Amino acid sequence: MSQSRQDTARSDEPNRLANIVSKIFAGQSGNTSLSICLSNDASAALMAGADAQDDCAVFRMTGAQELVVGSDYVRGPKFRLYELGLLNDYDVGYYLVTANVSDIAAMGARPIGVVTVVRYPPDMTDDTFAQVMCGIRDACRRFSAPNVGGDIGGAERLILSATALGVCLPGHALFRHGARPGDVVCLTGPTGIAGAAMSYFRSGTRSALVEDKHREQLLTSWSRPNARVREGVCLGDSGMVTSCQDTSDGLKAAIESVAAASGVGMVIDERRLPIAPEVAAVCECLDLPVPPVMFGDSVDFELLFSVPRDRLTPLTGLFSAQGFRFHAIGEVTSAPDVVLRQSDGRHVPLPGVAWRHQSDSPAVPLAT
């Protein structure tokens, strides 16, 4: 089978910048539709983006605002599902953006841009490189966060890292440290899906043990992960939320981290936790208990937040008006313990093992 030139071409960095990156991100600079208007006085407008090919992107900022900046490396080609051939280069580019934009969402800010580092091995073709960049572009479009530049060049393997930028009005950035006793603990959606996907596909039983629709959902949690950007903006704008964090280190890690930063405890109510059907299906299929999967090492990009009890109804209204929902899953306590109230009323430690990023070694066991 012959390969076209396009399939095998390997341009150097200046040509990749000029012929691939600049074309994919053409028309950014000065594009007014990419401006973020926070109020009559405060705005952030992209003046020079990836298409400008300068050393840096430039935004024109006016008025009082908070600038939020976070950075995440993603393992990308070291993901087990990539190694298993279930994710491709487009997917890991897409994932890179989601992981970074999720941090902006968790701070209650509107994304204004993402800068990406894409380093590739010597044998990566222009075609494959373009797939990575297209995954980045498409995720950026989904989250209205233009890829405004970054760094491309060689490395011994594909290395992906990024920084996301966002803005919000002064005093509206959300932190981990503001939860107060009596606040309600809330979650934007079910967790454990990405972890269940990992368990399922790594188990080697991926032929047909769960229904196709569940299998698809499991894969989507890695190939087209969603960041709760609009929900995060809603939380930030509301002025009602006392703390927030995404669940990218797992639900247990998020709960423990917010509780520790706030100097409080939490009682999470097992009966109120949303359970994704695909998580239930995997647990049944692999004979795993559900709670450790929901709490443990699973990168789901949901938002965990706290809100004073008397603001629960108005916040629910704000969410409903935009077609979103969240789940009240527990309560903040002054006692510093973080516990799960089981269906039988007993309090037990949170199940699951928190992701600790120690290395690229295999994920920790899901069962407690």
Interacting residues with its own copies between 320 and 349 (CB under 8 A)? none
Kindly state the tokens that stand for 176: 């981990």
Q: Rounded to an integer, what distance in angstroms lies between the CA atom of residue 339 and that of residue 9?
A: 56
Strands 110-120 and 147-154: parallel
Stretch that binds its own copies, among 20-28, 110-118, 325-333, 341-349 (CB under 8 A): 110-118
- Binding status of residue 361 toward its own copies by CB under 8 A: yes
For the window 195-234, what string marks contact with its own copies as x by the rule CB under 8 A?
A: ----------------------------------------
Query: Which parts of 172-191 interact with its own copies (CB under 8 A)?
Result: 173, 175-177
Kindly state the tokens that stand for 62: 């006016």
In whole angstroms, how close is the CB of 46 to its own copies at the nearest point?
A: 10
- Binding status of residue 47 toward its own copies by CB under 8 A: yes
Stretch that binds its own copies, among 161-169, 205-213, 316-324, 343-351 (CB under 8 A): 161-169
Nearer to its own copies, 233 or 280 (CB): 233
- Binding status of residue 69 toward its own copies by CB under 8 A: yes
Kindly state the tokens that stand for 49: 């983006």
- Binding status of residue 161 toward its own copies by CB under 8 A: yes
Burial class (CB in 10 A: 0-12, 13-18, 19+), 56: exposed
Query: Would you say how long the chain is, in residues?
Result: 368
Nearer to its own copies, 44 or 279 (CB): 44
What residues have CB less than 8 Å from 293, skipping those under 6 apart?
192, 195, 196, 199, 279, 282, 283, 352, 366
Contact residue for its own copies among 9, 30, 35, 78 (CB under 8 A): 78
Query: Which parts of 244-263 interact with its own copies (CB under 8 A)?
Result: 245-246, 261
Contact residue for its own copies among 51, 72, 270, 302 (CB under 8 A): 72
> Closest Cα partner for 180 from 61, 244, 264?
264
Residue 221 and residue 197 in contact, taking contact as beta carbons nearer than 8 Å: yes
Kindly state the tokens that stand for 113: 């841009």
Stretch that binds its own copies, among 20-28, 100-108, 275-283, 324-332 (CB under 8 A): 100-108
Residue 304 and residue 251 in contact, taking contact as beta carbons nearer than 8 Å: yes
- Binding status of residue 275 toward its own copies by CB under 8 A: no
Nearer to its own copies, 134 or 261 (CB): 261
Contact residue for its own copies among 21, 81, 97, 104 (CB under 8 A): 104
Residue position matching structure tokens 């966060």: 145
Stretch that binds its own copies, among 6-14, 136-144, 184-192, 214-222 (CB under 8 A): 6-14
Q: What is the 3-state secondary structure (H, E, C) of 77-143?
A: HHCHHHHCCCCCHHHHHHHHHHHHHHHHHHCCCEEEEEEEEEEECCCCCHHHHHHHHHHHHHHHHHC
> Closest Cα partner for 304 from 169, 225, 191, 143?
191
> Closest Cα partner for 139 from 246, 38, 223, 83?
223
- Binding status of residue 357 toward its own copies by CB under 8 A: yes
In whole angstroms, how close is the CB of 316 to its own copies at the nearest point?
A: 24
> Closest Cα partner for 240 from 171, 307, 182?
307
In whole angstroms, how close is the CB of 189 to its own copies at the nearest point?
A: 18
Contact residue for its own copies among 3, 7, 8, 64 (CB under 8 A): 64
Q: Rounded to an integer, what distance in angstroms lies between the CA atom of residue 139 and that of residue 98?
A: 7
Nearer to its own copies, 73 or 324 (CB): 73
3-state secondary structure of 210: coil
Q: Rounded to an integer, what distance in angstroms lies between the CA atom of residue 290 and that of residue 186?
A: 19
> Closest Cα partner for 148 from 134, 159, 137, 161?
137
Contact residue for its own copies among 21, 34, 44, 227 (CB under 8 A): 44
Nearer to its own copies, 13 or 310 (CB): 13
Distance of CA 119 to the CA centre of its chain: 21
Query: Which parts of 11-40 interact with its own copies (CB under 8 A)?
Result: 12-14
- Binding status of residue 135 toward its own copies by CB under 8 A: no
Nearer to its own copies, 111 or 270 (CB): 111
- Binding status of residue 153 toward its own copies by CB under 8 A: yes
